[in-house]
A and B are shown apart, each in its own frame.
Chain A
Amino acid sequence: MKSTASKAGRADEHAGQPDDKVIEVKDSEGRNAPEAPEEQTATFSAVPSGDADPGSAEDGATPGAEASAEDGVKPGEETSAEQDANAATGSGPLAAPVMTTAEPEADSPETPARAKDAVVTDPEAQVPSPDPAVVSPGPEAASPGAEVTAPEAPIAPPESATARSEASATGPEDPSPEPEVHGPRAALTGPEDAAAGPVSTVTAPEPASLFEPKVHQPSTNELTTDQAMDEQATDDGTTDDQATDDQTTDDQATDPQATDEQTTDDQTTDDQTTAGQARDEDGAADPATGDGSTNDGSADGPTAPEAGPGEAGPAGDGDGASPAGEGEGSLFRAVRPVRPAEPVREVPLPKPVSRALTAALTGLKHSVTGLRLGLDVPGVEEARKAQVEILAQLDDYVIPRVHMSTAPALVVIAGSTGAGKSTLVNTLAAAKVSATGVRRPTTGTPVLACHPDDREWFAKSDVLGGMVRVARPGPDSSLDTLVLAASERLPPGLALLDTPDIDSVVESHHEIAHRMLDAADLWVFVTTATRYADAPAWNLLRLAKERGARLAIVLSRVPVRSREVVEKHFARMLQEYGLGEVERFVVNESKVTGGRLPDEDVAELRMWLTELSVDDQRRAQAIQATLDGVLNSFRSRLPALARHLEAQVAFRAELRTDVDAAYMGALAEIDRATSDGSILRGEVLARWQDFAGSGDMMRTLHLRRPGRAASKTGQQAPARLRAFKAALRAGLESVIISAGQRAAEEAVARWRQRAGVGDGLAAAPGLGRSSEELPRRAARTVAAWQEHVVALIRSGGVAKRSVAKVVAFDEEALALVFMVGLLGYGNSDIAASSGTGTLPERLLRGVLGAESLRAIGTRARTDLRARVSVLFDEETLRYVQVLDEAGIPDEAASKRLYQATYNLEVSR
């Protein structure tokens, strides 16, 4: 009803007013603010202008002129608006059906509960003042329209009521409110402002100026439906105010505007619900729709349902534009007792948004989780730390926060040891929730202090989910425990987290403090008069800046007499550091009793916190800003991590290349040694001389004669033959072994040259020498090769039939001669070659034929190389294994990470 009413009101206003003002405002707003506020402002300012000076229509009929002009045509006529709506169905249907369908879906779950509130609220609201009457006209007014807007009427009212109740909840929040205190503060908040509406001319300028910076942000925030309403309500209030100021029109209109706004929001939200995610990013989009609908309602007039309320509204608004403000003001008070019943509002994001974002974050988490950064490439420490941080932050903060963006804000108090963090928390909580003392570091277990109503939420929440909740720090409380303490004095919706220090000798404290900060919605950094120039403090501030976290700085323990100097100096340092805009609080050094400071010392800070608590919009902004900051920081942190992964992968490839190069060198060396005859020295030479010189070689050949066993003569000197064969094998083996050893040394040397990185790997035992099995493997390899050569000779020997007829030969012996020839007899210093070739060559050519010999030669050489390659591959495996054990991400890891980053950006 209210929404209908307000919608109608707006419609009416638009319709009823020649509100060129609106357009004018729109323009002016549009320049400095993003589209979203612009539109809203336009809508809302319409109301005041309408109410205040209906005559000032001529002022600025610039761009939106058509609409306003049309509006202007039908001032205050419900029916005309309706007709318009009907008339302009061309555009109407687009928006209207969406709304009608969407609204029930999205809001119905909540509305029942809220509706109750609303029910409670309304009567109460009616009681305190005649203003309720102003509120009620809404519904009443709606009823006339209800004939037309049958479908919407039942749904809308509860909702708007909720909105209303929420809005009021945001108002004077404290259970024990001190009107005096609240008064001034109230000036800061939208609803309050609205409450102050009647006195508008006086109050309006202030709030307006206070809110000015915010006008830019408001609807960019993603918000759950309810909050959206709240926020927008407040926002709009703000906008309104400003608009009003700008126009110097009546503030009495503020309330209706606020309501209007809510309506708009409702619509918007509904639309968005179906529209899916991107509500925030498309801040432009939703106000646009909202606006569209508003415009439709007012000017073109959407379909009947829409237009109905549109008509209904004017009644209410028309009746009590100004009283409405009071009505709301009174509503706050009325609602206040209701609020604790629902201390924490966990309203998930519209499902698709949440789902997409959650999916993106989960994907991100997966791609970060499994990473192993095993190589000590420069920067690996940072990368490992970044990985742990990102994971912890995702778990502790981002994922829970995306799920429940309206959850109570977590204010993390961080700072140096002895800065008085615990004392501050105690003072704010007005109870000794955290131990204080002269021992440094004092706090070892983080303490979370919150309002009793929020306690349950924090007890089971996913925020800092990995930490064990305890009621009080026990002797066994480690750094993974979180002490939960509740205090009535703390404003609801905010929790203070007292962290361990960031700079004491206990390094685990730093880690836990950073983990807490990663989960924070708001950072309160505490430093002292003696510490404000400490390097760790500034490192933390830099981190906050990088993360884009919402930050407040408390300069604590400031001696009264030097306060001015220190404050100024600190302010200047902050300025130089680009943190001049950050909110600062100064706490004097004073006597600490019972772990607490005198209350007046922290009054300013308490007030600030309370404001945050009261003002859902600001809090949500703060939360959102920090969340955005964190998500933004992923934009650079994840690619940085991915780059490091790439570096690791690239480095692994380089290390692998080193090994391969070393062993390639060894292969080349073996090739050389097996072709230049250097093997044919020492024992091999002696055995060759023995074999050849003693006539055995000649005896391997014999003429075939019938009746004589061919193999008989071959066995005449098996001992010498065997010895020669063994010598040849030993020679080859030693060449392979020495090359393998050289290669191992070379590989390790190459690794060591890789600036410090390979060192750790190269230190793996045994890498600097060839493996234990190499000699055995080499022996097997060479023996196998020899067998292979014999087989080749045997099969190749068949080729030359003409010889085979006359001469028989011992393949084994001939194979040895062949090997001698192959291993570079011609190049060795023992060769006495005549023009036609070396001795083995000529002999073999004679026996086997030139072609066959060539083929066998090629095959034997290739086979030897292949066998040695296999052998060295096995050697290489040891290095690969070391590399694998070091744990290096695969090539796809960085791509996955980039993809995850991209997905996250897309889903935001």
Chain B
Amino acid sequence: MTVSGARAGAVDTRSDLGVRLTALARVVELGPGRVDPALITDASRLLMRAGDRLKLSGDHTVVALAGGTGSGKSSLFNRISGLELSPTGVRRPTTARTHACVWGLDGAGPLLDWLQVQWRHRFARASALDRGESQLHGLILLDLPDHDSIRAITDHEADRLIEIADVIVWVLDPQKYADAATHTRYVAELAGHEAVTVFALNQADRLAPEELAECVVDLSDLLKREGVQQPRIVPTSATTGRGVNSLKSVLAESVVNRRAAVHRLQADLDRVMGRLTKVMPAPEAMSVQQSVDLARQEGLTDALCDAVGVPAVGEAMENVYGARSIAWVGWPFARWAARLRPDPLNSLRLGGLRDEIKAVTAASVSAQPAEVENAVQALADGLTPGMPEAWRDGVRDAARSNLARLPQVISEDVGEVAPPLDRVPGWWRALKIWQYLLVALFVAGLAWAVAIVVYGVMGVGQEPADLLGDVSALPWLGLMTVSVLGVGLLSAIASRNFVVLGANRERERLERDMRRRIAAIAKEQVVQPVEQELRRYNEFFAALTAARR
């Protein structure tokens, strides 16, 4: 691959990485409260690091020599650089500070600052001087302190640089290559970083050739078991110089490609995404709908109507109207007859209660808080199956966001449409007048008839008017009086039917109105916050999927 081609490729991968990082940023933005904070912290640290690294020199590749104490990192460092830059020794641990050697210093300064390599530990190789090493131009080689000695327990220099270097060369040796300190803590953690990881089996000179071969095979098996798919193992010997050139050429490849930084970040991103996906299994979660469907909204409205008692209110209205209308439109004689019956309340000396009982109907409709809460809860429960626990709680909380004032709002709003049960329609009054008119008529007719009987039939005296003494009118008068009674009775029955009919219609209207209002409130106070949460949920998982690629 030519350099320019490589660069073009690098740009592609770079922009791809950018897209994924943006998605991750969205995940980090939406995640808090729903995802383990540690994970969010790690993701945001990766974002920071990626931002920093991508801003800094892309022409340089940071290669870190990492490994246990005594594996020969410094010796290898010196071998590769060709100079005695990092002190070596037999005392353990030897290196305490990171040393850096730069091939091609231009633009490397900020990068080295970012790496926090001290000035006195920075060395430059003028690559022009080294023929045949032009390939290494752009290489920043770091000699890390060890990570497994007692000193490293308190000093996390190695950890820090292992996390941010572009390429890690694990310097192993035949004695320590299977140490848990290296494998469990780093190599297994960095599985998936094959492209930016090289294993140098140093001190190869200590082994016989066949032993070395066995060792390499064993190491390779070990790494594969840990998830490193195609480990690159280079046997080296810092003492004899054997294998150092192979290592150099492996490094040169990374350096020339200028892609190591991006690869490294991609691998890190993959890792973070892997962890995120494990907590938030996306595919299954994506089946959750974006909005609250109509059936669920209906269900919620029904439940809220029950909380207000809409059907009961209707029924009560019907019954109460029916009962009360008797006092207005009923045939007065029937009422008077009923009043003659003995009243238990009076016998208990509780006569005053009657008015209070009437007053009961004055109260307006209201919503029962516990039932409202259960209704909202049911909605949330219905929506969340399949969601991760944290999101489930989120939806529930969103549904409840307005719970505190919801009963009040419903009561007030519905109260506007619900007629007071003690209302008296105008036609009731008119009918009452008509009934009394009929009563008056009846009384008048009766009086007339009596007068005729007295004056006309019995001839008690001189009738004051002719009409009063006209006996022939008596049958007609009797007929008329009876028919007045009949008309009163009929009108009482008819108006009663009208009351029932009207109450029925009123009830239907009432129920419709109340239901409509409750539905509107439910939409505004419950469904909207829930849908907002659902959108956040979907957006989160969309970002997660995008970042995962």
Contacts and interface: CB of A to CB of B under 8 A. Distances in A.
A565 B149 contact: no
B348 to A, nearest CB: 4
Contacts, number: 249
B70 A701 contact: no
B91 interface: yes
A686 interface: yes
A440 B201 CA distance: 13
B178 A505 contact: yes
Given A531-B175, A694-B322, A839-B356, 7 more contacts: A530-B70, A559-B90, A566-B91, A683-B309, A689-B421, A690-B312, A701-B344
Contact of A530 (B71, B347, B407): B71
Given A534-B68, A690-B316, A682 B368 contact: yes
Interface stretch (B179-187, B228-236, B267-275, B494-502): B179-187
B91 A569 contact: yes
Contacts of B360: 688-689, 692-693, 830, 832, 839
Interface string A417-443: 111000000000000000001111100
A: contact size bracket: 35 or more
Interface stretch (B21-29, B102-110, B211-219, B460-468): B211-219
Interface in A862-893: none
Given A685-B363, A698-B357, A738-B377, A693 B218 contact: no
Between B71, B320, B348, the greatest number of chain A beta carbons within 10 A of the residue's beta carbon is seen for B348
A533 B92 contact: yes
B218 A439 contact: yes
Interface residues of B, number: 82
B470 interface: no
Contacts of A843: 350, 353
A807 interface: yes
B176 A673 contact: no
A768 B275 CA distance: 25
A529 interface: yes
A565 B353 contact: no
B231 to A, nearest CB: 14
Contacts of A701: 344-345, 348
A535 B174 contact: no
Given A678-B369, A703-B344, A720 B319 contact: yes
Contact of B370 (A441, A689, A703, A738): A738
A420 to B, nearest CB: 9
A478 to B, nearest CB: 18
Contact of A806 (B180, B323, B347): B347
Given A418-B175, A693-B320, A531 B349 contact: no
Contacts of B349: 846
A832 B362 contact: yes
Nearest to A690: B316
B411 interface: yes
Contact of A505 (B184, B316, B370): B184
A505 B69 contact: no
A681 B411 contact: yes
A43 B76 CA distance: 68
Contacts of B174: 418, 438, 440
Given A701-B345, A843-B353, A846-B350, A535 B149 contact: yes
A697 interface: yes
Contacts of A698: 344-345, 354, 357
B205 interface: no
Interface stretch (A8-16, A388-396, A729-737): A729-737
B353 A530 contact: no
Interface in A549-599: 557, 559, 562, 565-566, 569
13 contacts: A419-B175, A439-B218, A507-B184, A565-B90, A682-B371, A685-B366, A689-B316, A701-B345, A703-B344, A731-B371, A803-B348, A832-B359, A839-B360
A759 B181 CA distance: 30
Contacts of A829: 363, 366
A489 interface: no
B183 A505 contact: yes
B18 to A, nearest CB: 36
A689 B180 contact: no
Contacts of A839: 353, 356-357, 360
Given A678-B368, A727-B309, A830-B360, A440 B183 contact: no
Contact of A686 (B207, B222, B316): B316
A194 interface: no
B146 to A, nearest CB: 8
Interface stretch (B4-12, B150-158, B256-264, B428-436): B150-158
Q: Count chain B CB atoms within 10 A of each CB in A683, A697, A834 and give the residue with the most.
A: A683
B475 interface: no
Contacts of A438: 174, 207, 211-212, 214-215, 218
Contacts of B92: 529-534, 569
A140 B93 CA distance: 69
Contacts of A534: 68-69, 92, 148-150, 179, 181
A443 to B, nearest CB: 12
Given A535-B152, A566-B90, A723-B312, A807 B370 contact: no
B506 interface: no
A2 interface: no
A690 B315 contact: yes
A731 B315 contact: no
A528 interface: yes
Interface string A642-683: 000000000000000000000000000000010000110111
B539 interface: no
Interface in B2-44: none
Interface of A: 416-419, 437-441, 503-507, 510, 528-536, 538, 557, 559, 562, 565-566, 569, 673, 678-679, 681-690, 692-695, 697-698, 701-703, 720, 723, 727, 730-731, 734-735, 737-739, 741, 763, 768-769, 803, 806-807, 829-830, 832, 834, 839, 842-843, 846-847
Contacts of A562: 90
A720 B174 CA distance: 91
Contacts of A565: 89-91
B368 A689 contact: no
A682 B309 contact: yes
Contacts of B357: 692-693, 697-698, 839
Given A690-B312, A735-B370, A533 B323 contact: no
A688 B218 CA distance: 85
B358 interface: yes
A671 to B, nearest CB: 13
A734 B148 contact: no
Interface string B282-315: 0000000000000000000000001111011101
Interface string B71-90: 10000000000000000011
B448 interface: no
B344 A686 contact: no
A418 B324 CA distance: 102
A684 B369 CA distance: 12
Contacts of A763: 389
Closest 3 CB pairs of A and B: A683-B309, A530-B70, A533-B92
B153 A693 contact: no
B240 interface: no
A812 B175 CA distance: 90
Contact of A807 (B180, B320, B348): B348
Interface in B185-207: 207
B175 A528 contact: yes
B116 interface: no
Contacts of A506: 178
A427 to B, nearest CB: 18
Contact of B342 (A504, A566, A703, A739): A703
Contacts of B322: 694
Nearest to B422: A693
Contact of A738 (B215, B315, B374): B374
A737 B376 CA distance: 13
Contacts of A685: 309, 363, 365-366
